[in-house]
Amino acid sequence: MMPLTMAKAGETVTVRKISGKDEVRAHLAEMGFVVDSDVTVVSEIVGNLIVQVKDSRIALDKTMANRIMV
């Protein structure tokens, strides 16, 4: 397992674990980041990511992306 920030642009990965407080995990789950879901990294700028989850593109800062293990 590695944090989502380690994935390269264009790479599709599968979420394995989400760490953090309950409210942080719930917020990420509402956006579609749930275990066994596929996430595609669209682009990465200074550690901040734009990712495709289901039919949505979402921007994540480095600290949030580090909580998502793939």
Q: Which domain holds residue 62?
A: 4-69
pLDDT in tens, the chain (70 residues): 999 999 999 999 999 999 999 999 999 999 999 999 999 999 999 989 999 999 999 999 999 999 999 9
Contact 3, 66 (CB under 8 A): yes
Widest CA span in the chain: 30
Strand order in the sheet with 12-14: 12-14, 38-45, 48-53, 56-60
Kindly report the CA angle at 69 between 5 and 43, in degrees rounded to 5?
30
pLDDT at 47: 84
**10: CATH:** 2.30.30.90
As for how many domains the chain has, the answer is 1
Residue 53 — φ and ψ, nearest 5°? -125, 120
